[in-house]
A and B are shown apart, each in its own frame.
Chain A
Amino acid sequence: MSDGLKIKHLYARAGFGLNLEEAKSKNKSSLQKEVRQLLKVSSYDEIKIPQQVLNLQKKAISMQETMGRRQGRKLEDEVKKYNKNIVMDWIGKMTEGKNPLLEKMTLFWHGHFACRIKMPHLAANQINTIRKNSLGNFKTLVKDIAQDPAMILYLNNQQNNKKKPNENFARELMELFTIGIGNYSEKDIKEAGRAFTGWKADVVQGEFKFVERQHDYGTKTFMGKKGAFNGDDIIDIILEQKEVSIFIARKIYKYFVNPKVDENKVKEIAGVFYNSDYDIKKMMQFIFSSDWFYGGKNRGVKIKSPVELFVGLKKILDVDLPQQNIMKIVGKGLGQALFNPPNVAGWPGDKSWIDNATLMLRLNLPHLLLLAKDVEVKGMESFSRKPKNKSADLRPFIQEFSKKENSEIADDLIHHFIHPPLAMNKGLLYKRIELSTPEEVIQKIIFRTLSLPEFQMC
């Protein structure tokens, strides 16, 4: 198998796929170099909230406190609209391809530390925290998440105090975030809950605050150890257990390698993860440097998540839609609303993305993207309607394909953009096209290729 094909697979999993130009240039690169490049993080901007939105948010919160919920709520609804900008900002980062793996890991951890966030400043904070650690150390990531204001609100640690402990965060910390069910007792949950008492959020500032008088300084017995543990101690003790590395490695395997788990491989990955003291980058490097990752059994077997699908298409077609439409398509239509997971267990992924409604929308998505009323298609002047400020750009394709036979065009598109073996008659991609201009023919073949069920896979 050529490095070119391996690189295609690598970028589909470690990033959001490649567009035509990237695919062409990377086709000749070496795999080693690409893996190295993906793991190297170049500088990036954090997601920032404009001061005026922050001010508005503060006003909304203080209004709720002083004048009652109703007054504050209206203002808050205004502020919430800004959540769209954060999602768009993030989708922009995924699309531009500066740090594909970093963004992919951020998306993975966003689903792992699933948290429903309504306030934009808290959403931005959390995603910045995750991005900062997403290829760093898992222990630091967990500790940062335990002090993340949005998570504290979501899992009721705001209500966790010495007098009336709330164990919700402690429970999910173990069940979903680190070690998995069956590796701790109900008593462990209660004791861990006590250790996190007084860990609160300053919602207005969007910061962690430790409320000393609400913290339980007493002795706790947790996973066979005894001490006046605080939250950080609890996380340290949990992460001493090898089961954590297996739990995380299995989830990583399902997400990056294959939804069907090979437990032996999971153990290998977990070993690297545990022995490096939870270095996420080392774990990912191990996976991407292993031959089995590129094996035929693992290629083209993963159903793209809505965000993967959408970002991938956006890259290929270089198209943009109005914010509202994107939120509608990816969130309500396809079922992955960022900052709004189904519950604290995150998106179950794989087949659960697919039902009749989501699949038909997925298969029609290229069409929707290109034929949306306010989308101009560059290079397709004969087609395009009045230009608005959104554009799709097919010029690279037209340049590349204008001298090629239809069947060659189809072959090239499959080569670059389709991962599993075709399970249909290839001729359908380019036969029976009765249109006038060569551009229209090229556009048609692109449509047909990207509308295949096979394009849903990576």
Chain B
Amino acid sequence: MKRRDFLKNTTLASSAMMIPSFLKASGWESLFGNHVGKKLVVIQLSGGNDGLNTIVPFENDIYYRSRPKISVAKNSVIRIGNDLGLNPELKGLESIFKEGEMSIINNVGYPNPNRSHFRSMDIWQTGSASNQHLSTGWLGRYLDNECSGCNPYFALDVDDSLNLSLKGKDVSGFATDNINQLRKTANNPYLKYVAESHQHFHHDDDHENVEYLYKTMIDTQSSAKYLFEKSKVYLSKMDYPQNKFGKDLKQISELMTAKANIKIYYATLGGFDTHAGQKGKQNRLLKMYGDGMKAFVKDLKRNKLFDDTLILTFSEFGRRVKENAGGGTDHGTANNVFLMGGKLKTPGFFNDAPNLSDLDNGDLKFKIDFRQIYSEIITSALGGDPKKILQQKFSPLEIV
């Protein structure tokens, strides 16, 4: 961790205990800004997005032979590389890629892949090995390690419940997908009185869990207020797609533009489990994703935030190379991961297209461990010790 981060996140923050509460409430943290590293936005595509129909190997005969019904026709692919192109529904990503603000990493996975959604998502969210069970997430452990005195909304999950990746042992992220609703719940006048009256009670060592509940409640009340106020500072005029995902991205961009002291944002787009009738379903979702990202990136750029932002997109696994009888694909293994942001070190394709003639039981072999990407993100965007957070050393990639 860099010295400046250390000062900002630890020393000053932990001395927050000594800062009178009226100062704390006035948002003293913003005095110190948040210029180190980058903001991280994680986009999770749930259900196992079919990477081969997302980034299409349009020169590959095996691809077309394996997928007579659902392959993406060569002449419709948006060409962004010699042998790889975007699914036409991802038109929104074309300019981002061509302007050098996107990096596509192929063949990302982990040893002994698990094909259960649940378990594989678990592995991605906790950053564990496939035979290891962790109850904290990789971002949660970042919070535990680097952020013991940070504000409670330092990592924001735009969802109604907190996903595992943001759960730490002592410090966790904050979840809300509706700031107005959150404010209403948190504004319960009775609970406010209760919180207020708690201030006069002495901490009881045997009942530290009670203390923990009070702290979480009070944090939620003050966060709800903070987030509500920040969400009213800037109302985006950008044209986001009219769906939940578009709405979530808009919310994130508005908070970022309002300079909310939030380091990590997390949003989810689900429904990628396309066992049958894949084409229509996946295309609709890819369009949602592509159009959403286009508006989001444009919004961030307009507000001069894009250079200080890193956007990670992943899914828990890719799908099998061969289509199934129902015009869909079944659970697979390695997949592509996208990074977007200004000033990437290696924009474009980070590595070669998947090798379709060298498969493991009909599935792609992984070449890059997803934790190498996490390690890179922790070092370059978040500022932290990847070895401590990932509990193992992974060789860096030099992308960000």
Interface residues, chain A, CB within 8 Å of chain B?
68-70, 73, 116, 168, 171, 176, 259, 296-297, 300-303, 332-333, 335, 342-345, 348, 350-352, 354-360, 363-364, 420-421, 423-425, 428, 448, 451-454, 456-457
Q: Are B185 and A360 in contact (CB under 8 A)?
A: yes
Contact with A354, one of B133, B194, B212 (Cβ below 8 angstroms): B212
Q: Are A423 and B209 in contact (CB under 8 A)?
A: no
Q: B135 an interface residue at 8 Å Cβ cutoff?
A: yes
Complex Cα spacing A187 to B276, Å: 42
Given A350-B209, A423-B210: A360 in contact with B186 (beta carbons within 8 A): yes
Q: B197 — which chain A residues lie within 8 A by C-beta?
A: 424-425, 428
Name B131's closest neighbour in chain A (CB-CB). A171
Min Cβ gap A116→B in Å is 7
Q: B122 an interface residue at 8 Å Cβ cutoff?
A: yes
Q: Which 10 pairs from chain A and chain B are nearest by CB?
A: A425-B197, A453-B213, A348-B135, A345-B133, A70-B326, A357-B175, A356-B220, A355-B162, A423-B201, A424-B197
Q: B275 an interface residue at 8 Å Cβ cutoff?
A: yes
Name B185's closest neighbour in chain A (CB-CB). A360
Q: B211 an interface residue at 8 Å Cβ cutoff?
A: yes
Complex Cα spacing A454 to B211, Å: 9
Q: A171 — which chain B residues lie within 8 A by C-beta?
A: 131
Q: A176 — which chain B residues lie within 8 A by C-beta?
A: 133
Name B161's closest neighbour in chain A (CB-CB). A357
With an 8 Å Cβ cutoff, the count of chain B residues facing the other chain is 50
Complex Cα spacing A350 to B209, Å: 8
Min Cβ gap B216→A in Å is 5
Given A73-B275, A343-B133: A424 in contact with B213 (beta carbons within 8 A): no
Q: B324 — which chain A residues lie within 8 A by C-beta?
A: 69-70
Q: Are B164 and A342 in contact (CB under 8 A)?
A: yes
Q: A68 — which chain B residues lie within 8 A by C-beta?
A: 325-326
Q: Are B190 and A448 in contact (CB under 8 A)?
A: yes
Q: B9 — which chain A residues lie within 8 A by C-beta?
A: none
Q: B212 — which chain A residues lie within 8 A by C-beta?
A: 351, 354
Q: Are B135 and A453 in contact (CB under 8 A)?
A: no
Q: Are B200 and A425 in contact (CB under 8 A)?
A: yes
Q: Are B161 and A333 in contact (CB under 8 A)?
A: yes
Q: Are B162 and A357 in contact (CB under 8 A)?
A: yes
Q: Are A428 and B135 in contact (CB under 8 A)?
A: no
B residues 189-206 in Cβ contact with A at 8 Å: 190-191, 193-194, 197-198, 200-201, 204, 206
Name A367's closest neighbour in chain B (CB-CB). B188
Q: Are A342 and B122 in contact (CB under 8 A)?
A: yes
Contact with B174, one of A335, A356, A363, A451 (Cβ below 8 angstroms): A356
Q: B92 an interface residue at 8 Å Cβ cutoff?
A: no
Complex Cα spacing A12 to B186, Å: 28
Given A333-B161, A342-B135: A355 in contact with B204 (beta carbons within 8 A): no
Given A69-B275, A356-B223: A421 in contact with B200 (beta carbons within 8 A): no
Given A70-B326, A428-B193, A456-B213: A116 in contact with B185 (beta carbons within 8 A): no
